[in-house]
Structure 1
Amino acid sequence: MSISIQNLTKEYGSQKAIDSISFDLSPGEIVGFLGPNGAGKSTTMKILTGYIKATSGEATVNGFNVNSETIEAKRSIGYLPEHNPLYLEMYIKEFLEYAGSLYGLKGKALKNRVAELIELVGLQREQHKKIDQLSKGYRQRVGLAQAMIHDPEVLILDEPTTGLDPNQLVEIRQLIKEVGKNKTVILSTHIMQEVESICERAIIINLGKIVADKSLHELKESGQSMEEVFRNLTGTQI
């Protein structure tokens, strides 16, 4: 399994942000991770990426335990947080070369990888600009390129299209779908159209518990829209 979570719990005092959740993701899957605000999506992603530790349970990425084999697990992950952290004063190529150097890339291999990613994410015309000169849509492209610089097997994307205009939404969704042909992708989102256009499967979390884990086809078999399914499972709108 590319990602395996077994009985994962995170407690903050007496409050459980996630409560004994379990799921597996296979190589090549693109999975939507859905839930209301505060449901536990970002907590789960932060545990998977090694930013915080679980209270109990186990999580592995590409076969590596995120607690005991943290460095190996992180090498297998490309992570785009909800608030895309970029060095705005840097040029795009400069930033991507810096990101690649952190993973041990150097010389011609590093320059070739940066050029490859700039083409992949559609930054050719912008590549000589500073990041602070870019629109939010292009900044998201830089963030995706940074997440993929070391060619990870798994991509973890937290709200990757928040705040984008309709044209940017379409472009970033298409990009994620293209990238997902060769990687395992888990993305959190509040946008049902995004799940329907990108994902093959949806995991829905509410109040720290998994309330559904099914293919989109299975979720739609009831004849309800995805919005109705979500509302019935969580008691909230998305």
Structure 2
Amino acid sequence: MSIEVKEISKSYGEQKALDAVSFSINKGEIVGFLGPNGAGKSTLMKILTTYLAADNGTASVNGSDVTTAQKAVQKSVGYLPEHNPLYLDLYVREYLAFNADVYHVSKNRIEEVIQLTGLTPEAHKKISALSKGYRQRVGLASALLHDPEVLILDEPTTGLDPNQLVEIRGLIRNIGKNKTVFLSTHIMQEVEAICDRVIIINQGKIVTDKKLNNLVKDDKQLQVIEVEFDQPVTAEALQTIPELTDSTNLKDNIWVLTFTADKDMRPAVFDFAHDNNLKTLQLTLKGKNLETVFREMTKKK
């Protein structure tokens, strides 16, 4: 088992960040850790990397307890925090050499990680001269220097442009062929492109833990309907439709409606339009995606 978490709890004063969280991750899995802001994602990652201590429960990485065997955990984990801490005045190779000394690894490893992370064209520059995408590559290179078995990545693509996103996703997928990867993100497309499995946390508790394919296929009663009306309509008015759990205005008079029901809800949408003197210009039953499931799992009660 690469990562094992049992009944982990953590509070900050009166606020409970983690509430008896449990899960395990097998070697070689790429797992997406999702949740709204403040759900407890970064707190759990910091516990797994020994930066924070849990109030209750146990956790281990590669068989080493995060409380009693911190050095062993640190040796087996590569960590990229959300705010990638870099020494901007150092050159890329200079920065990696500094970290190689910290990890007590051979300087030969520096060139290996530069090639692995695609840093070669920029490796001669100061970090301050790099784009955000290449700075993230430097952070990944540093996390990989000691050849860890587990990579923990907290929001690894925050602030990247679309081209950089594709590049970093490809890099993480490639790294994941040989390592266990546990990553948090707010970008659903990123998880769909990279991950095998999804764990969703909300208000400090795990609300689902499934293989990505199963997560989207399950909960057959969840329906998503996209509808365009001929006139404006309010979210409050839409709440009169039976079984409606969420409504999102895409643009103009186009709405995405989410239902939890055991029958086709399109007739209910037609009935709503008729009762309110509206016409439906289009009505489409859409397939579920990860974003739909995420919204349903983390909606406020």
TM-score with structure 2 length normalisation? 0.76
Counterpart of 2:40 in structure 1 is 40
Shift of 1:13: 2.0
Q: Work out whether 1:161 is the aligned partner of 2:157.
A: yes
2:15 alignment counterpart: 15
Where 1:74 maps in the other structure, the secondary structure is: helix
The amino acid of 2:102's aligned partner reads L
Structure 2 residue aligned with 1:227: 291
Q: CA RMSD in A?
A: 0.8
Count of aligned pairs between the two proteins: 232
Shift of the alpha carbon at 1:203?
A: 0.2
* Aligned twin of 2:100: 100
User: Could you tell me which residue of structure 2 aligns to residue 51 of structure 1?
Assistant: 51
Counting only pairs closer than 5 Å after superposition, residues 74-89 of structure 1 correspond to structure 2 as 74-89=74-89
Q: Which residue of 2 aligns with 1:60?
A: 60
Q: Secondary structure of the residue that 1:86 maps to in structure 2?
A: coil
Counterpart residue identity of residue 32, structure 1: G
Q: In structure 2, how many angstroms separate the alpha carbons of the residues matched to 1:129 and 1:8?
A: 42
Q: Does 1:122 align with 2:118?
A: yes
Q: SS state of the match for residue 84, structure 2?
A: coil
Looking at structure 2, the residues matched to 103 and 138 of structure 1 have their Cα atoms a distance apart, in angstroms, of 22
Following superposition, the deviation at residue 224 of structure 1 comes to 1.8
Identity over aligned residues, as a percent?
62
- Rounded Cα–Cα distance in structure 2 between residues aligned with 1:44 and 1:14: 18
- Counterparts of 2:68 and 2:136 in 1: how far apart (Å)? 31
What's the CA shift for 1:153?
Answer: 0.4
Matched to 1:190, the amino acid is H
Measured in 1, the distance between the counterparts of 2:13 and 2:163 equals: 43
1:212 to 194, 208, 213: 208
Whose strand proportion is higher, 1 or 2?
Answer: 2
Corresponding residue for residue 143 of structure 1? 139
The 3-state SS of whatever aligns with 1:84 is coil
- Of 193, 196, 199, which aligns to 1:200? 196
Alpha-carbon displacement from aligned partner over 1:187-227 (angstroms, at most 9, x marks no partner): 00000000000000000000000000000111111452111
State how far apart, in whole Å, the 2-side matches of 1:123 and 1:224 are. 37
Q: Decide which moves more: 32-41 or 227-236.
A: 227-236
SS at match of 2:201: strand
Give 1:219's aligned amino acid.
L
Residue aligning to 1:69:
69
In the alignment, which residue of structure 1 is the partner of 2:278? none
Q: 1:224 is paired with a residue of what secondary structure?
A: coil
2:183 paired residue number: 187
2:296 maps to a residue whose letter is N
Whichever residue aligns with residue 87 of structure 1, its letter is Y
More helix as a share of residues: 1
Partner AA of 2:95 in structure 1: F
Secondary structure class of the residue paired with 1:32: strand
Distance 1:183 1:161 in 2: 19
Q: Map Cα deviations across residues 131-178 of structure 1 (whole Å, 9 max, x no partner).
A: 000000000000000000000000000000000000000000000000
The 10-residue stretch of structure 1 (12-21 or 192-201) with the greater mean CA deviation from structure 2: 12-21
> Unaligned 5+ residue runs, structure 1?
none
Q: Which amino acid aligns with 1:175?
A: L
Q: Which runs of 4+ in 1 moved over 2 A?
A: none
Per the normalisation by structure 1, the TM-score is 0.96
For 2:272, the equivalent position in structure 1 comes to none
Gapped runs of 5+ residues in structure 2? 221-286
Structure 2 match to 1:171: 167
Partner AA of 2:188 in structure 1:
M
**Highest CA radius of gyration, 1 or 2?**
2
Give the drift of 1:69: 0.5
